[in-house]
Amino acid sequence: MTYWLYDVAEHHRQQPEAFAIPREEERYNMQPADIVSVGFVPENGESPEFMWMRVELARGEGRYIGILLEKPKTVHGLDANNRIEFSAENILEIYIEDGDPRWFDDTKLAMVSGHVVSHGGWPGRLMRIPPMAPEYSGWFIYTGEEPPEYIRDFGNFVSKPLAEMVQQYPNLRSILATPVGSDWRWDAAAAEYRK
């Protein structure tokens, strides 16, 4: 049984806007029973196969022991229920279901700046206010470089489903479950959104 775990954090550092992972704070604070996706690279060096694991033990400093929940197709010798040691650097995704405080309804709408929608600007700032109607999430997504008078005019914003925004900008997924009053800015050096 020869494999290594894929360093998704390094991949994210190399392609921060295209390859998204959960924020560092989340990856370093997983708890027993949390379910995460971890990449296994087979000995022949093929592409990583991402598998779901349940955290069994949090050892501190972003180190974990987990139980493999499925049998890999490309990594021979591993099977469901195997215990695997991994770290925060290996976590690609956190499984979140409806009812979990980290879950968000991606069918809801966000107000998105024309600088992002029409001009391809990076969503550098996100603020969440009380939603104006049930179909809205309360999120305002903009570059953070728009002048105040631009932001005050709702005519400069377009309603977009959160699912569409996450598909285009996967890093948004890491913050959209945060509550009303949240204010996030993209930190290019850290390659993640920070308050």
pLDDT tens, 59-72?
Answer: 999 999 999 999 99
What's the pTM value of the predicted model, to 2 decimals?
0.84
Task: Give the pLDDT confidence of 134-191 residue by residue, as tens digits.
Answer: 999 999 999 999 999 999 998 999 999 999 999 999 999 999 999 999 999 999 999 9
Q: What percent of the chain has pLDDT over 70?
A: 99
pLDDT at 183: 97
pLDDT at 46: 79
- Say which residue the tokens 């469901």 belong to: 80
Overall average pLDDT of the 83-88 stretch: 97
pLDDT at 79: 93
pLDDT at 159: 97
- 147/98 Cα distance (integer angstroms): 37
Task: Give the pLDDT confidence of 107-122 residue by residue, as tens digits.
Answer: 999 999 999 999 889 9
All structural domains of the chain with their residue ranges: 3-94, 109-194
- Give 1's pLDDT tier (boundaries 50, 70, 90): low
pLDDT at 115: 96
pLDDT at 169: 95
Give me the residues paired with residue 65 across strands.
57, 85
Q: Which CATH number fits domain 3-94: 2.30.30, 2.70.98, 1.10.15, 1.10.150?
A: 2.30.30
E strand map for the chain: 3-5, 35-42, 49-60, 63-68, 83-87, 91-94, 109-113, 125-128, 136-142, 157-161, 183-187, 192-194
Where do the H-state alpha helices sit in the chain? 8-14, 24-27, 114-117, 148-152, 162-168
Write down the mean pLDDT value for the chain.
94
pLDDT at 21: 96
Residue 101 has pLDDT above 90, yes or no: no
